[in-house]
Structure 1
């Protein structure tokens, strides 16, 4: 059961939508490695891959359906994407040659073409822990799988059973979640610290990951990429919340170490899952290193600012997201920033990650057996 909107909204300053790893980074591919010809892109996760589903949740705590979000989107309008423009699923779908934009499944006017080529079930504020979704009044991961089931039903009505099965088996399925769980329930609100130490909470979440991957596999998904955690302690909001002097802008290293230890466990889990799920290709995505590289060596990528977002620029951000009154560095200057708001990357940063992602995913899949039924 979700919290009342008023109660959930009261926690907004500390409830953070975290960059998680639909930003799929694995290992650098050689020039002759090619990505498979995927039939569709199917996305599960949080705000980093929510292309607008929260627009259709009347009680969702987090929404990006207002300016200045979307300033650099092709239409110049907010779409529910938590950035100034496109998100990583959009860039990656374009790189794969599937389509330019990945629509939210809850959009009321999805075309048959949208369904055939894939959608996002993601919801800003969610996580593997059901408590995380409850706090944010977001779509839980279990509920996202239920939406996937509805998607498959419609896909069958459009294409027939056999073609729909081939489409799902040939799709790239990406899962981006986990960081909200740590910020909501361990680092900031600390709800789960009453039950778990850090390692125990990591294991609790990994059991959820395992169940999710198996459910997706049982519904026909064969190429499944699961993202690890980013350097949580380098998010501008965490610098503000966790440091005694919020004007001292530096990464919170204890949180970064927590991300690293979780990622090591996740990588091992996914390797075991692939070996146990016949015909699957289950890949770990390492967003931690490339994002930290952009933050640590910004000029190498054309960035100037790494410790605060473009939206809210000049302020020590105490809220995760921007509202219509938030000051902005300006749409032309956004490309100088790694972060758009105090949590989410700019569209420029996402594009860099997507390019890197496509090379690294090719490398990861080149050594895996082709998926089969």
Structure 2
């Protein structure tokens, strides 16, 4: 072997060996978090809606936030997305898009477009008067225009491409249209499985529309164990000898929906170029917290901290309502929404199981 050839061979071999030792190029860090969906992600957008049934702009909501002021978060404190942006080093709290104090610079690291009471079904919105997902998409379009004016087209595109889009929606659709109203149009039109297919088709279209706008990283939450939410325990007890136990059929429906959602995510992953989609399991963690409270430091999982904890939420959980002395011991803050402590558990799970997939 000629000297020149031997030298090239050694250099090539050394480079190949070093490439095995050196880490591969990682994906760009998360630039921002954009949240879309319902009350589990709403950090104050419903404050700007005059007719919605779902408001939490009053005490005791927000009692455990740093300034102890209600911000329209449906919790005693932070939501999972607040913990997420803090862990990512983006900001302390994820602000609401419709907050008048929001600046164009705030948009660059993320914002929530979510609305308490929102859903995938127009009939859900007819009841709740919340902001629809299509309107949330319009708000996102407006935010993109503001971001382009601030940092330019190229930088805006890079921010959106490297952002995580958190989506949580569907619970209100099931509760309003299948469970808590004796007769609804959807009950006549659909079987539970048929209605779920209807919802998932709309969710798929929504994700595709976000992808067209540059979104590439998605965390899509499944349904919680709806039958174990305090409000559902209360309503279910009417038909169950006043025993406050989980409504099993509602939980089975949630599980079936989540299985189909995972199938949808796999199909979208294959069809959307450059995308990374991750299913976020809320069902099993919340059910585990419900069934094994001491494991998480909880003492009460069947009722919320506010009032009796059985029916109070929104305006019924008001400034005159008695609250438990320590919400961190409660899985639920009101009759439908997790406490800050529960949201912290969910955020920790997301950090360990979802974000690595989106950022690898």
TM-score by length of 2: 0.89
Residues 233 and 256 of structure 1 are in contact (CA less than 8 Å); yes or no, is this contact kept in structure 2?
Answer: yes
- Matched with 1:196 is 190
Query: Secondary structure of the equivalent of 1:306?
Result: strand
- Matched with 1:10 is none
Question: Which consecutive segments of 4 or more residues in structure 1 shift more than 4 A?
Answer: 318-321
Q: Distance in 1 between matches of 2:241 and 2:127?
A: 25
2:348 corresponds to 1:355: yes
Q: 2:168 pairs with 176, 199, 202, which one? A: 176
Q: Distance in 2 between matches of 1:221 and 1:344?
A: 28
Alignment of 1:18-167 (within 5 A): 37-167=29-159
- Matched with 1:24 is none
Q: Kindly tell me: are residues 181 and 225 of structure 1, through their superposed partners in 2, closer, same or farther at Cα, counting changes over 3 Å?
A: same
Q: Distance in 2 between matches of 1:165 and 1:205?
A: 29
Residues 46 and 130 of structure 2 are in contact (CA less than 8 Å); yes or no, is this contact kept in structure 1?
Answer: yes
- Matched with 1:30 is none
Quote the offset at 1:356 in angstroms.
Answer: 1.4
Quote the offset at 1:41 in angstroms.
Answer: 0.4
Residues 102 and 119 of structure 1 are in contact (CA less than 8 Å); yes or no, is this contact kept in structure 2?
Answer: yes
Residues 28 and 162 of structure 2 are in contact (CA less than 8 Å); yes or no, is this contact kept in structure 1?
Answer: no
Q: Greater relative contact order (Cα 8 A, min sep 6): structure 1 or 2?
A: 1
Q: Distance in 2 between matches of 1:343 and 1:203?
A: 24
TM-score by length of 1: 0.86
Bigger share in helix: 2
Alignment of 1:274-353 (within 5 A): 274-313=269-308, 316-317=310-311, 322-330=317-325, 333-353=326-346
Residues 247 and 316 of structure 1 are in contact (CA less than 8 Å); yes or no, is this contact kept in structure 2?
Answer: no
Quote the offset at 1:109 in angstroms.
Answer: 2.0
Q: Distance in 1 between matches of 2:109 and 2:166?
A: 14
1:210-240 deviations in Å (ceiling 9; x for gaps): 1000000000000012111000000000011
2:210 corresponds to 1:219: no
Residues 241 and 318 of structure 1 are in contact (CA less than 8 Å); yes or no, is this contact kept in structure 2?
Answer: no
Q: Distance in 1 between matches of 2:217 and 2:357?
A: 11
Coordinate RMSD, CA, aligned = 1.6
Q: Distance in 2 between matches of 1:283 and 1:138?
A: 26
Quote the offset at 1:152 in angstroms.
Answer: 0.3
- Matched with 1:261 is 256
Q: Distance in 2 between matches of 1:120 and 1:262?
A: 25
Q: Distance in 1 between matches of 2:80 and 2:28?
A: 18
- Matched with 1:209 is 203
2:347 corresponds to 1:364: no
